[in-house]
Structure 1
Amino acid sequence: MPEAVISAVDLRKSYRVKGKPDLVAVDGLSFEVAPGESFGLLGPNGAGKSTTMKMVGAVSTRSSGQLQILGLDPDRHGPDIRSRLGVVPQQDNLDAELNARENLFIYGRYFGLPARVCHRKADELLAFAQLEEKARSKVDQLSGGMKRRLTIARALVNDPRILLLDEPTTGLDPQARHVLWDRLFRLKEQGTTLVLTTHYMDEAEQLCDRLIVVDEGRIMAEGSPSELIRRHSTREVLEVRFGSERNQQVAPRLEGAGERVEVLPDRILVYTHDGERALERITAEGLTPVTSLVRRSSLEDVFLRLTGRSLIE
């Protein structure tokens, strides 16, 4: 097995709060990321994802535990590590006074790259991001999806070994998200290691080879998307709606229709290996849902099982 590019053992981060016990943001995380892997961190707001990303990005020191990035300790070799990373923040922080090409050129100069190299890379990255026609456009003239692609392109100026992406497609429409996914797939095919946080379960299933589900600073589960679904859910899920006023009342009568029943405000989820058969069993009991849907299990079902709440809070 190739040596891990990221290795964390019992990683912890806490903050002092005057007059109160220390706030523990990361509570003993242990994980490894292999070269060329696409690795995801999933969890609700406040779970410790962004804090972990900051420690991996060598911009926040750890409280205890071990952390190695590309074989180096980020607390002692921060500048060296940061020079080999690409970072895509949650909010685009492009320079609005510059056009798209200038944003790439100037960022390359920050890394000490020669001007001729920055010119070449700017052209290459504009092509990669499908923004050649917008090279002379100011940032404010770009759509949300274009700005996001430009931010990712900028993060690639220094040929990073690892690309850190914090919620890369938040706020984008479906078409823009799929274009961005395609660009990230291409990076992965080129051997770039991707580490991302996301609130979108379909995005995690599409992009991640492996992921961890984090809650309250601790790992709740780890594995590939398909492994987690097999381990923590059933093959299918039956969604039935009886009306928001009746769902809670009807739910006890659905026990036994599947392996597990989950009551949400707007619907009831019946976890089963045969959704159609579960629906037949429910209607045989004289219950007629307003709507019904049989679908395959997803990572969102895994998250509900592990934390009992939706990812988007």
Structure 2
Amino acid sequence: MNRSKYFNYIEEKLEVLARRIEKRGKINLLDLNIYSETFFAELMNLLFGLTLVNMNILKQNVEGIDLVDVNHKVVAQVSSTCTKQKIEGSLNKDIFRMYSGYRFIFVSIAKDATKLRDMSFINPHNAAFSPTDDIVDINTLLNVILSMEIDKQREVFEFVKKELGNDVDLLKLDTNLANIINILANENLANCIESPEINSFEIDKKITFNDLSDVKGTIDDYKIFYQKLDEKYAEFDREGSNKSFSVFQIIKKQYTMHQHEKANSKELFYSIIDNISKIIIESKNYIEIPYEELELCVCILVVDAFIRCKIFKNPEGYSHVIAG
């Protein structure tokens, strides 16, 4: 199920991040702590509908508070230290006089905070703070993610992948794409594909025309591989394999089958990716690769099909290539 793949990926990345923060903290390497403030701000915004921003944007080195949301009157501290003393030290800061009536959330990014939720805390400025609800750790976030609707879970997955995913190994990418094209391609019906330059302006028009602004970031991320995939298709086709046509047909079939089932274009776009991934995984000649790498390759294939007019409607006069 896609839900389990999304959750398992998110869980792995958050757990690895927590372990690295804790391990590096023991040797006083704190760079991940700093970067994590903004990461967890954006993650909590996705999960809880907040608009947290890093406090350093407003004022440098504010003691006791790392994040603030003036719209929902929330302040938060992001910490790898998870103790009663740490929380009380934050609640004791004079900064809370400036944020009277704000809810305080303590985010433990490296350690389990379960025991702290049963404790009472000295709160001299009477900040709105409930230990049961306002002490958050990785398990808290994972429980929220686990119960999300699948489309929202996919959004979190895309965010975590972008922030914590591995760099692209171009050599491995080349091999993986070749294997996946071999799996998807069963017919020899297409002509050779040339390798023109893509027209970003026209692609943006097609995104707007199909109401796909929510996935524009994904399309932008993967359209840069257009030339590499183009070369790979051409390589197969020059050998007489002509596998490009059958790959396009499989992707187009997923679009045609599901275009009237999905509530919006965003859901349809991601369902195509999920269904192509499922076809590959269930193939007899699929040699398992990490899900992150599979997702990368399938996104490249689907974005390429979008650019080449194989899926979704084209605006009048659409031309995805720049004439030479």
- Scaled by the length of structure 1, what TM-score is found? 0.29
Q: Which has the higher contact order (CA 8 A, sep 6+)?
A: 1
Q: Structure 1 or 2: larger strand share?
A: 1
Q: Structure 1 or 2: larger helix share?
A: 2
- Scaled by the length of structure 2, what TM-score is found? 0.28
